[in-house]
């Protein structure tokens, strides 16, 4: 190993894919011998067991009566500066431009230029927030001020350039899965609890935000189950849950659909499934589809954002235009009624997840970026 680095990581510790990627990356870096300090408002939910190279520093928000709104961003910036000084960190790797990169730049001004800031863009900061004129300049400032910027897909890099006019170099660092966690699990007896032997299992995992178009999942399933005996598992919860539940009831599908709520051991559930559905409106990458892929499960998804960089049409799943539930149901039928084709897809999924989006490759890529910004190539 080159120099052992001292790295601070800030992310939304409890939020979906970005929190998962940031936490898993931190754990892998620690395993490689680096010292990793998570600086977040609560304990990252995937942090898991004790590791002597991992530290957690909680950001506490001051709520003095003079503040109309508790200033989380200032508390974070000041905590970042404090931890950097106390622990002599080399760099901060922050996930999301707003507010994390802005706070990291403030901390850098407080402690000095030797501190380097690496910012990873995950999507929402660009595809949603950058469209808001009151925030776009600030996002541009955060990106231009960072010592390195990474994005999770080519599509996100394109969008960042297009929406914000950014010319700075942006490194592509795809999301990854830990192959020791995401692999096809032995679930023969568990499967019996969810479906009869002749039934197929479909799965959808998300935070049920409108952008996920979860009602399309119900539409696809409704079309499919007319001729394919199947069950549908929903994992996760969020603002559209009631709407989805209403649609399930309206279609008379209650006895075919299981709402699993939020779950931790996603690899176990994915291993039960024959197919994942991801009909999102926007998706800068689609980490859940990669997690499914690593468990040997193909995805039928929308041709949106970075999804085509992950899913190869006809090889590791199928893509259809956003909202085309008819086409998506057709692709699902094609996979679920042709055992030989399903087996081919499964093999291709396992191979692609293992070799292209593998934890070792992507972790090394981040390390190279760290050494580069620190001038230690």
Binding site for ligand GMT (CB under 6 A): 15-18, 21, 122-124, 127, 152, 175, 207, 209, 211, 282-287
Between 54 and 156, CB nearer to ligand GMT: 156
| Residue 286 beta carbon to ligand GMT: minimum distance, rounded to whole angstroms | 5
Between 147 and 283, CB nearer to ligand GMT: 283
Long-range contacts from 364-370, C-beta under 8 angstroms, 24+ separation: 365/171, 365/173, 366/25, 366/29, 366/93, 366/118, 366/150, 366/173, 367/2, 367/5, 367/29, 367/32, 369/118, 369/148, 369/150, 369/171, 369/173, 370/5, 370/7, 370/90, 370/91, 370/93, 370/116, 370/118
Between 18 and 23, CB nearer to ligand GMT: 18
Find the Cα–Cα–Cα–Cα dihedral 239, 74, 7, 292, rounded to 10°: 10
Between 90 and 285, CB nearer to ligand GMT: 285
Between 8 and 236, CB nearer to ligand GMT: 236
Between 38 and 285, CB nearer to ligand GMT: 285
| Residue 236 beta carbon to ligand GMT: minimum distance, rounded to whole angstroms | 10
| Residue 119 beta carbon to ligand GMT: minimum distance, rounded to whole angstroms | 13
Between 177 and 201, CB nearer to ligand GMT: 177
Q: What are the residues whose beta carbons fall under 8 Å from the beta carbon of 102, sequence distance 6 or more?
A: 73, 138, 141, 142
| Residue 82 beta carbon to ligand GMT: minimum distance, rounded to whole angstroms | 26
CA distance 277 to 300: 5
Q: What are the residues whose beta carbons fall under 8 Å from the beta carbon of 276, sequence distance 6 or more?
A: 202, 203, 204, 205, 270, 288, 289, 292, 297, 298, 299, 300, 317
| Residue 19 beta carbon to ligand GMT: minimum distance, rounded to whole angstroms | 6
| Residue 92 beta carbon to ligand GMT: minimum distance, rounded to whole angstroms | 18
| Residue 209 beta carbon to ligand GMT: minimum distance, rounded to whole angstroms | 5
Dig out the tokens for 79 from the structure. 């905590």
């Amino acid at each position: 190993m080159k120099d052992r680095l001292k790295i601070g990581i800030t992310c939304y510790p409890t939020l979906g894919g970005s929190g998962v990627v940031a936490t898993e990356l931190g754990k892998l870096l620690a395993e490689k011998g680096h010292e990793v300090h998570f600086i977040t408002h609560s304990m990252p939910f995937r942090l898991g067991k004790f590791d002597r190279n991992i530290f957690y520093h909680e950001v506490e928000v001051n709520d003095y009566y003079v503040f109309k709104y508790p200033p989380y961003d200032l508390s974070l910036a000041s905590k970042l500066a404090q931890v950097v000084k106390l622990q002599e960190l080399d760099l901060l790797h922050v996930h999301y431009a707003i507010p994390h990169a802005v706070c990291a730049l403030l901390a850098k001004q407080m402690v000095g230029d030797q501190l380097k800031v690496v910012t990873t863009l995950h999507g929402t900061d660009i595809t949603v927030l950058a469209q808001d004129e009151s925030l776009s300049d600030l996002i541009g400032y955060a990106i231009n001020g960072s010592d390195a910027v990474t994005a999770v897909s080519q599509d996100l890099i394109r969008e960042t350039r297009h929406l914000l006019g950014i010319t700075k170099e942006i490194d592509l660092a795809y999301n990854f899965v830990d192959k020791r966690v995401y692999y096809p699990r032995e679930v023969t007896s568990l499967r019996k609890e969810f479906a009869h032997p002749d039934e197929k299992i479909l799965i959808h995992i998300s935070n049920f935000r409108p952008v996920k178009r979860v009602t399309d999942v119900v539409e696809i399933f409704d079309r499919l189950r007319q001729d394919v005996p199947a069950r549908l598992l929903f994992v996760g919860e969020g603002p559209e849950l009631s709407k989805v539940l209403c649609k399930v009831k309206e279609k008379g599908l209650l006895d075919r659909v299981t709402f699993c709520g939020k779950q931790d051991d996603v690899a176990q559930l994915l291993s039960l499934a024959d197919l994942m559905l991801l009909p999102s409106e926007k998706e800068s990458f689609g980490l859940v589809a990669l997690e499914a892929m690593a468990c040997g499960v193909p995805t039928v998804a929308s041709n949106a954002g970075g999804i085509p960089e992950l899913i190869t049409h006809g090889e590791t799943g199928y893509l259809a235009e956003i909202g085309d539930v008819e086409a998506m149901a057709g692709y699902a039928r094609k996979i679920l009624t042709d055992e030989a084709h399903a087996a081919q897809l499964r093999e291709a999924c396992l191979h692609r997840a293992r070799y292209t989006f593998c934890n070792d490759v992507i972790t090394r890529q981040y390390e190279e970026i760290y050494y580069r910004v620190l001038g230690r190539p």
